[in-house]
């Protein structure tokens, strides 16, 4: 572990940051000093009931709740949070504390149309109109509202309109093919489908009209279809047009719901079999996102939060919760050009810019220097997630993006729709490390016998319940699949599926998925550290490593995609193997290095090591992975059985 500090909190952070002020407030309440991050985190996981009750009250989500009624049953997965409270997520978002009616709350940019700005009043009106449209089409509490829509203000309004009624929202991004959409939406049997006719991705136009018809034919019990002519305003669309759907404004009302009432359904990547349909709750999302946005990202009125995402990734749901703490949101639909995204951050006045680790590494690889191309002086935070960010990615941010913004490398997932390891304004940034376990997240590193440990690698588990844990998986009423997915390896303990090392200072390193771990001669090796070394070698753009460990063979295969002009000659092979031997160990040296044009990735950008391993061992590609779960399914052709 490194001890190199790249960023330090302000000396007056306890007085000037949201988390500092919260810590002072809670210290007075508890009559003990909880202003240091370690003390506050320890309190948050040891005293779940008063901590989450304090978050609920502090952010105005509800009135004071007696401790025993904050968490009535802490047995996972049957946890019961705030059983006596009524709540509505849409009301919490549209309250937008500290935001005036005529303040711009939503800024949206797109490859398909010009910029759009909505004030808080505009958003409320759009929600009211979408709500009236849903009601007119017979949508009621518990019905599913499906959106095959891009990251645009209309999708945000539709989600809030659905939430206001107590209907259950679910979205897929337009780049998902018809089969991928049906794999998801057919499970939940929506009452209504709202879609776009197409979109532009950079210079490319993608028409979705025929795909929409195919999806409509495949959804049994679908009552209504609404189409937003997004690509072509004059397109002949399926069903009713968006403008007609939103023709009436009857005001916004909010159904009083239980804390655990379903808000929206997210989906796992679906790399093997049907994607899991993960159900999240009104209260769980609101209280968790309020905590993260305010206390960890330091967002509030006057801030503008931008996380590059599509509506098919949980980071979109995370992004659009920001008004709960009074922060505005910046939406973008289009091609994430490495230089263009930073210029968009400048143009939008973004104060917290979130993206993925692969995007930051692509910027580094292409020599993009944002600090020279855009005025990023308003940035106080930069977020990275989707994959572990290697140490050289940290260097790139502080050398080429901003010397003053706090870099928060975040780890979490669709399963909880949040990050549970990340950063905070009162915690330093250490090179190559996630700065801290998030408040209320009892993240531990377990050995195979279920013993927690510090300073050694183990299974990432969450040992205590969190309000944002799913209330269920759709179609799994007795929670058998839920338990099998998360709670069987360590009974009653959430196993997340990553390898983690927690340092004695409270930071952490994620070394890869535990189901993709390499194991040679009894030495376990995480893939993320492998990729960090290989992709730092000049000429390498991307890589994927697979360990074939059958009874009759033990081979480590490394596949590399190269930068333009590079070739896999003996010199490059030598430099790759030397780097692995010197920086990791001789056991990390691959038996073969093979060149491929590209590495297969899921729609959310994750490498697919396990399916590739299955294919190399003779499993047919269509049985190893669902093609529609991949952003580049043709890349599988470069991995024939060995």
pLDDT tens for each residue of 336-347 = 999 999 999 999
State residue 458's pLDDT score: 92
Residue 474 and residue 269: Cα distance in Å, rounded?
Answer: 15
Torsion sign over Cα 383, 466, 43, 90? positive
> Sorting pLDDT into bands at 50, 70 and 90, what band is 552?
low
pLDDT tens for each residue of 200-253 = 999 999 999 999 999 999 999 999 999 999 999 988 888 999 999 999 998 999
State residue 290's pLDDT score: 98
356, β-bridge pairs: 385
Residues above pLDDT 90, as percent of the chain: 79
Q: What does 157-189 look like in DSSP terms, one character per residue? A: HHHHHHHHHT-EEEEE-TTS-HHHHHHHHHHH-
State residue 75's pLDDT score: 94
Q: Please state the rounded mean pLDDT for residues 461-479.
A: 97
Residue 348 and residue 372: Cα distance in Å, rounded?
Answer: 17
Residue 480 and residue 484: Cα distance in Å, rounded?
Answer: 6
pLDDT tens for each residue of 385-436 = 988 888 999 999 999 999 999 999 999 999 999 999 999 999 999 999 999 9
Collect all residues with Cβ–Cβ distance below 8 Å to 286 and sequence separation of at least 6. 61, 87, 89, 92, 321, 324
State residue 54's pLDDT score: 98
State residue 299's pLDDT score: 98
- Least Cα distance to 402 among 421, 422, 420, 384 occurs for 384
State residue 551's pLDDT score: 52
pLDDT tens for each residue of 489-519 = 999 999 998 889 999 999 999 987 776 667 6
Q: Identify whether the C-beta of residue 543 lies closer than 8 Å to the C-beta of residue 556.
A: no
Q: What does 228-249 look like in DSSP terms, one character per residue? A: E--S-TT---SSEEHHHHT---
Helix (H, G, I), strand (E, B) or coil at 111: coil
Q: Which two tokens stand for residue 238?
A: 């399926």
State residue 26's pLDDT score: 98
pLDDT tens for each residue of 100-145 = 999 999 999 999 999 999 999 999 999 999 999 999 999 999 999 9
Residue 208 and residue 231: Cα distance in Å, rounded?
Answer: 9
Backbone angle region of 187, left / alpha / beta, with phi > 0 → left and psi within -120 to 50 → alpha:
alpha
Q: How much is the mean pLDDT over the chain? A: 93
pLDDT tens for each residue of 249-295 = 989 999 999 999 999 999 987 666 678 999 999 999 999 999 999 99
Q: Identify whether the C-beta of residue 158 lies closer than 8 Å to the C-beta of residue 228.
A: no
- Least Cα distance to 540 among 524, 564, 561 occurs for 561
Q: Please state the rounded mean pLDDT for residues 635-642.
A: 86
State residue 40's pLDDT score: 98
> Sorting pLDDT into bands at 50, 70 and 90, what band is 521?
low
Element (H, E) at 139: none
pLDDT tens for each residue of 13-47 = 999 999 999 999 999 999 999 999 999 999 999 99
Residue 485 and residue 208: Cα distance in Å, rounded?
Answer: 34
State residue 515's pLDDT score: 67
Q: Identify whether the C-beta of residue 282 lies closer than 8 Å to the C-beta of residue 263.
A: yes
Residue 131 and residue 109: Cα distance in Å, rounded?
Answer: 24
Residues above pLDDT 70, as percent of the chain: 96
Q: Identify whether the C-beta of residue 327 lies closer than 8 Å to the C-beta of residue 305.
A: yes
pLDDT at residue 484 above 70? yes
State residue 2's pLDDT score: 56
Q: Identify whether the C-beta of residue 391 lies closer than 8 Å to the C-beta of residue 360.
A: no
Q: Please state the rounded mean pLDDT for residues 341-362.
A: 94
Q: Identify whether the C-beta of residue 567 lies closer than 8 Å to the C-beta of residue 540.
A: no
Residue 401 and residue 425: Cα distance in Å, rounded?
Answer: 19
Q: Please state the rounded mean pLDDT for residues 453-477.
A: 96
Q: What does 265-291 look like in DSSP terms, one character per residue? A: EEE---SSSSPPEEEEEHHHHHHHHHI
User: What does the chain come to in residues?
Assistant: 642
State residue 642's pLDDT score: 66
Helix (H, G, I), strand (E, B) or coil at 578: helix
Beta pairing class for 240-241 and 436-437: unpaired
Beta pairing class for 192-196 and 168-172: unpaired
From residue 275, how far is each of 36, 59, 179, 324 by CA, in Å? 41, 34, 12, 29
- pTM greater than 0.85 (yes/no): yes
Q: Please state the rounded mean pLDDT for residues 474-502.
A: 93
Residue 262 and residue 252: Cα distance in Å, rounded?
Answer: 19
State residue 180's pLDDT score: 85
Phi and psi of 227, rounded to 5°?
-125, 130
pLDDT tens for each residue of 585-603 = 777 888 999 999 999 988 7
State residue 554's pLDDT score: 73
């Amino acid at each position: 572990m490194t001890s190199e500090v790249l960023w330090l909190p302000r000396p007056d952070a306890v007085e000037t940051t949201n988390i500092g002020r919260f810590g002072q407030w809670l210290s007075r309440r508890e009559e003990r000093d909880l202003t240091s991050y370690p003390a506050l985190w320890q309190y948050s996981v040891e005293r779940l009931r008063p901590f989450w009750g304090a978050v609920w009250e502090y952010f105005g989500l509800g009135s004071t709740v007696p401790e025993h009624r904050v968490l009535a049953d802490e047995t996972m997965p049957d946890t019961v949070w705030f059983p006596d409270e009524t709540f509505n997520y849409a009301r919490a978002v549209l309250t937008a504390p500290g935001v005036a009616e005529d303040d711009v709350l939503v800024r949206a940019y797109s490859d398909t149309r010009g910029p759009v700005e909505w004030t808080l009043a505009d958003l409320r009106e759009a929600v009211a109109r979408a709500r009236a449209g849903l009601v007119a089409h017979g949508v009621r509490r518990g019905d599913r509202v499906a959106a095959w829509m891009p990251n645009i203000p209309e999708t945000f309004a539709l989600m809030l309109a659905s939430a206001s009624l107590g209907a259950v929202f679910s979205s897929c991004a337009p780049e998902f093919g018809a089969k991928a959409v049906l794999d998801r939406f057919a499970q939940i049997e929506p009452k209504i489908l709202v879609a776009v006719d197409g979109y532009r991705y950079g210079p490319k136009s993608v028409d979705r009209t025929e795909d929409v018809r195919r999806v409509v034919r495949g959804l049994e019990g679908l009552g209504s279809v609404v189409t937003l002519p997004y690509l072509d305003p004059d397109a002949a669309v399926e069903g009713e047009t968006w403008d007609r759907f939103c023709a009436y404004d009857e005001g916004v009302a909010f159904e009083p719901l239980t804390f655990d009432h379903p808000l929206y359904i997210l989906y796992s990547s679906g790399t093997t079999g049907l994607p899991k349909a993960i159900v999240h709750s009104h209260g769980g999302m609101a209280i968790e996102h309020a905590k993260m946005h305010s206390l960890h990202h330091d967002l509030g009125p006057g801030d503008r939060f931008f996380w590059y995402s599509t509506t098919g990734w949980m980071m979109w749901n995370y992004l659009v919760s920001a008004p709960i703490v009074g922060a505005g949101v910046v939406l973008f639909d289009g091609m994430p050009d490495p230089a263009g995204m930073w210029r968009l951050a400048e143009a939008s006045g973004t104060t917290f810019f979130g993206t993925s680790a692969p995007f930051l590494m692509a910027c580094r690889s292409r020599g993009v220097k944002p600090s020279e191309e855009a005025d990023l002086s308003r940035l106080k935070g930069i977020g990275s997630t989707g994959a572990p960010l290697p140490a050289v990615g940290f260097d790139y941010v502080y050398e080429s993006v901003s010397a003053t913004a706090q870099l928060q490398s975040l780890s979490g997932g669709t399963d909880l729709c949040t990050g549970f390891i990340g950063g905070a304004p009162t915690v330093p940034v250490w090179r190559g490390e996630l700065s801290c376990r998030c408040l209320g997240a009892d993240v531990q590193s377990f050995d195979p016998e279920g013993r927690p440990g510090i300073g050694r690698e183990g299974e990432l588990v969450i040992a205590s319940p969190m309000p944002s844990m799913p209330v269920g998986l759709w179609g799994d009423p007795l929670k058998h699949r839920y338990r099998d997915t998360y709670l069987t390896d360590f009974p009653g303990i959430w196993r997340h599926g990553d390898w983690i090392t927690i340092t004695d200072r409270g930071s952490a390193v994620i070394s890869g998925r535990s189901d993709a771990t390499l194991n040679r001669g009894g030495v376990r090796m995480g893939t993320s550290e492998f990729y960090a070394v290989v992709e730092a070698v000049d000429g390498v753009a991307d890589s994927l490593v697979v360990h074939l460990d059958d009874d009759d063979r033990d081979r480590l295969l490394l596949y590399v995609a190269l930068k333009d002009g590079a070739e896999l000659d003996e010199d490059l092979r030598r430099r790759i193997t030397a780097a692995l031997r010197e920086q990791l160990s001789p056991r990390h040296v691959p038996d073969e290095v093979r060149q491929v044009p590209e590495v297969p990735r899921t729609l959310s950008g994750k490498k697919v090591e396990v399916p590739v391993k299955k294919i190399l061992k003779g499993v047919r590609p269509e049985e190893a992975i669902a093609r529609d779960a991949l952003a580049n399914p043709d890349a599988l052709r470069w991995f024939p059985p060995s």
